[in-house]
Chain A
């Protein structure tokens, strides 16, 4: 009996302690400590991604004979572009385009100075790799900012939000880290699917002429007794080209005598959709910040040219990682689909423009 009442006291004490913890919020503080510990351990993983990506780029630069690559990369790892004023929309596309081009030129000339003896191909791979390293570095800094802010202000709502978002953040970080491997070694990624479709069409048609304008290849060919212009970024380096600008100039050059414009691109799928699903629609299938897309839309609208779109669905991870076999097979199917679209929607001897949108890493023309 004495034993049992002793146990009762302990239970009483436990419940009273719990009660006091709940009304004073101590339980939340304990929870917050656990969350902070968890977020910090994940943050360390992101830091290791960021540091290792930087180290690999520096290593590659040194192998190509760059002088003092650590200093140069440290200078560019925080590189940023400020988006144009949006409350005044007049000429915003022009301003945005200008900023994007300035950014591109700055990074290009940075690598030209750093690697005067390397080829365009090697430089393009390192440019994209540096972009990946910049994203990882920024991600690390943002998460670190929020965890430090949450701790400083004792803001458990902020910490909780961060804790809930960490799995998604980790997935994005791991995806970018994997993408680095693809760009460093020039393997096609999921986003290259538009370029692969374009290349397959070039391969299967009789090529009449080839030219390259602004890092973008234009191939004129006969395909199923139609005159087809195939537009894609210039490969096999890492490059997205200027498909919008080039396509709109091409339409002008042909004085608008185009019967059909088809854009092919990779698109983000909804959860539950299959990787490699092909969907047909209308509009410009291109995921740039704006200038390229609007150039295609304006050119098509000006001359009343039907604008068809074909997308291959995938998630962000598949789009940035080396191309999966299912997606490669989808690219083969998409090329056949484009040929069918051309035959079904245009008469013989019609003029058609097909643009394969996306990064052409690992795909030539």
Chain B
């Protein structure tokens, strides 16, 4: 197959234009992935410095007394509730 110079230039231009359009459309329509999060409850002993992070349970709130300390068996208290991102 023989192409003259003009046709080659035309084809090159068309390829560049199509590539640019596709790239732009991909940038615009590709949705950024939402990170998956889990909510954790941070428990702290009211007497000693024992601290433990557990899964959040419905009904937890900051200041809730919940469970016993495994070290000194006094009461644990919810110190914080926060969402952490899961790494894929």
Contacts and interface: CB of A to CB of B under 8 A. Distances in A.
Given A187-B56, A328-B82, A362-B81, A322 B61 contact: no
Given A187-B39, A187-B56, A323 B61 contact: no
Name which of A11, A236, A331, A332 has the most chain B CB atoms within 10 A of its CB: A236
B62 A364 contact: yes
Contacts of B37: 322
B13 to A, nearest CB: 12
A362 B84 contact: no
Given A187-B39, A187-B56, A322-B39, A327 B82 contact: yes
Interface residues of B, number: 20
Interface in A293-330: 321-325, 327-328
A187 B62 contact: no
Given A322-B37, A322-B39, A188 B62 contact: yes
Contacts of B82: 188, 322-325, 327-328
B63 interface: yes
Interface of A: 4, 7, 11, 185-188, 196, 199, 203, 235-236, 321-325, 327-328, 331-332, 362-365
Nearest to A121: B61
A4 B10 CA distance: 13
Interface in B3-19: 4, 7, 10
Q: Top 9 nearest A-B pairs by Cβ distance? A: A364-B63, A236-B61, A328-B82, A363-B62, A325-B82, A322-B83, A362-B61, A328-B80, A323-B82
A235 B81 CA distance: 14
Nearest to B31: A170
B64 interface: yes
A330 B83 CA distance: 14
A236 B62 contact: yes
Given A188-B81, A196-B80, A324-B82, 18 more contacts: A7-B7, A11-B10, A187-B56, A187-B81, A187-B83, A196-B62, A235-B62, A236-B64, A322-B82, A324-B83, A324-B84, A327-B82, A328-B80, A331-B80, A332-B80, A362-B61, A364-B64, A365-B63
B64 to A, nearest CB: 7
Contacts, number: 61
Contact of A363 (B4, B7, B39, B61): B61
Nearest to B53: A325
B58 A185 contact: yes
B61 A364 contact: yes
A323 B83 CA distance: 6
Nearest to A11: B10
A363 B63 contact: yes
Contacts of B80: 196, 328, 331-332
Contacts of A324: 82-84
Given A322-B37, A322-B39, A186 B83 contact: no
A362 B42 CA distance: 13
A114 to B, nearest CB: 22
A324 B58 CA distance: 18
A186 B81 CA distance: 11
A199 B83 contact: no
B58 to A, nearest CB: 6
Nearest to A7: B7
Given A187-B39, A187-B56, A321 B62 contact: no
